[in-house]
Amino acid sequence: MKVRPLAAVAVAAVATSVLGFAFAQTPAPAAKPAAAPAALSDNLPVPPPPKIEGKAWVLMDYATGQVLAGENYDAQVEPASITKVMTSYVVAAEMQAGKVKGTDPVMMSEHAWREGGAGTEGSYSGFEVNKTAPLLEMEKGMVVQSGNDAAIALAEHVAGSEDAFASLMNAYAARVGMKSSHFVNPHGLSEEGHVSTARDLAQLGRALIRDFPEAYSYNKIKEYTVGPITQRNRNLLLWRDPSVDGIKTGHHSGAGYCLMASAKRGDQRLISVVMGSTSENQRAVDSQALLNWGFRFYETHRLYDANKAISKQKVWKGAADEVQLGVDAPLLVSTPRGKYAQLKPSMDIPKTLVAPIAKGQKIGTVKVTLDGKVVAQRPLVALSAVEEGGFFKRMWDELMMWWDS
């Protein structure tokens, strides 16, 4: 990710319009490459993404959450074992809350063993029935080996039952912005009402990487041993591309072959999700092609830092005469390579601001457009409080406001 501080894209001036809004000027153009062919290529459109064999797919920029390409990515599909990423998120969140610990002994119950163990057609971890293993070992058995038995055992330990754990899954899914997903079990075997979308799963991947990096790191483990059984991670990209460090595969007859992958090259990270592919190799080939396309043709920029002034605005009837406005979190944007200088930021701010103003109070919006389309926007907030001024200050400003009107 190219980090460009606020100074590089600072607003030169803010003009107040007769309609009562202020508009920020375009940032300073990025430096142009010296070679003419490179400059010419900047004006070419981004070529279409590779053809993907699957029911639904998406490529998302990790830093911004922008969808760079996709097809049917809001269609509900069966998530298969990619479900276990949601299970990992819940376990990590409950650990962070102090409700369970990584050293907890987790029982491989008879139910977990019968429903997801070696006697079933699905993937299993190999932990012995009616014996315990530390929670973190059980989780690695679920993540690396895609053990359905381990997923059930973890659900029972964290919430008492699969049904109760599914309620936690849906609560956390809503919290991370998964708008079209509903989970019924912790493992992803086909069950009525157990659905997600490619976009939701990419958002889940972002959330796991951002919120629980240690739990995420288990996804790059290439093989794991439980007792006499060593199994390989089914994500073939871990062997083919050193920049790939996750995330999860899935497969059953109803879902087809699925893969949620993530790679980091330099400061830029991308997440791909391919659902309903035709084979284990095809899902890997398509995911690799998507990641390569995204890294080749897109880049991420930091336009504004959190809690740094973007604009100063006049305040009436206040103990101070102005307030600084900024964003409460970094504002980043993904653009086609070479298009940075064409970004156009603007600010919509009320013409008249009157004290008192609270710190963090929303005052307008900053938007960034490219080729006439909004690619990012964020509320502008007051970076400090402005208390109400004294009696004479308020009366004087009341007079001046009347005069200006």
Q: What is the token pair recorded at 392?
A: 């004479």
pLDDT of residue 35: 37
pLDDT of residue 107: 98
Q: Using one digit for the tens of pLDDT, what is the confidence trace for 270-301?
A: 999 999 999 999 999 999 999 999 999 999 98
H/E stretch holding 265: strand 256-265
Alpha-carbon distance 354 to 357, whole Å?
7
Q: Using one digit for the tens of pLDDT, what is the confidence trace for 92-142?
A: 999 999 999 999 999 999 999 999 887 787 899 999 999 999 999 999 999
Surface-to-core class of residue 40, CB atoms within 10 Å of its CB (0-12 exposed, 13-18 middle, 19+ buried): exposed
H-helix segments, 185-309: 198-211, 213-217, 237-240, 280-297
Yes or no: say if 354 and 316 are a contact pair by the CB < 8 Å rule.
yes
For the chain, which residues make up each domain, given as ranges? 6-35+302-404, 56-277
Is residue 3's pLDDT more than 80?
Answer: no
Strand stretches in 306-385, DSSP E: 311-314, 322-326, 331-336, 344-348, 362-370, 373-382
Give catalytic status of residue 253 as yes or no: no
Yes or no: say if 324 and 382 are a contact pair by the CB < 8 Å rule.
yes
Catalytic residue among 88, 123, 125, 146: 146
pLDDT of residue 401: 84
pLDDT-derived band of residue 405, with 50, 70 and 90 as boundaries?
confident
Peptide bond into 247 cis (omega under 30): yes
Q: Using one digit for the tens of pLDDT, what is the confidence trace for 31-73?
A: 333 333 445 556 678 899 999 999 999 999 999 999 999 999 9
Yes or no: say if 317 and 330 are a contact pair by the CB < 8 Å rule.
no
- Residues 6 or more apart whose Cβ sits within 8 Å of residue 301: 1, 2, 3, 4, 332, 333, 334, 335, 340, 343
- Residues 6 or more apart whose Cβ sits within 8 Å of residue 89: 172, 176, 204, 207, 208, 211, 212, 215
Yes or no: say if 345 and 20 are a contact pair by the CB < 8 Å rule.
no
Q: What is the token pair recorded at 127?
A: 């932990």
Alpha-carbon distance 226 to 181, whole Å?
32
pLDDT of residue 39: 52
Alpha-carbon distance 132 to 104, whole Å?
9
Q: Write out the DSSP string of 234-260.
A: S-THHHH-TTEEEEEEEEETTTEEEEE
Give catalytic status of residue 146 as yes or no: yes
Is residue 19's pLDDT more than 90?
Answer: no
Is residue 183's pLDDT more than 90?
Answer: yes
Cα torsion for 242, 243, 247, 253, to the nearest 10°?
-60
pLDDT of residue 8: 38
Does CATH place domain 6-35+302-404 in 2.60.410.10? yes
Beta bridge partners of 257: 251, 277
Is residue 9's pLDDT more than 50?
Answer: no
SS3 233: coil
Yes or no: say if 154 and 232 are a contact pair by the CB < 8 Å rule.
no
Closest listed residue to residue 84, CA positions, set 291, 277, 260? 260
Whose structure tokens read 């969140």?
Answer: 93
Name the superfamily (CATH) of residues 56-277.
DD-peptidase/beta-lactamase superfamily (3.40.710.10)
SS3 137: helix
Yes or no: say if 284 and 237 are a contact pair by the CB < 8 Å rule.
yes
Give catalytic status of residue 81 as yes or no: yes
Whose structure tokens read 């307008």?
Answer: 364
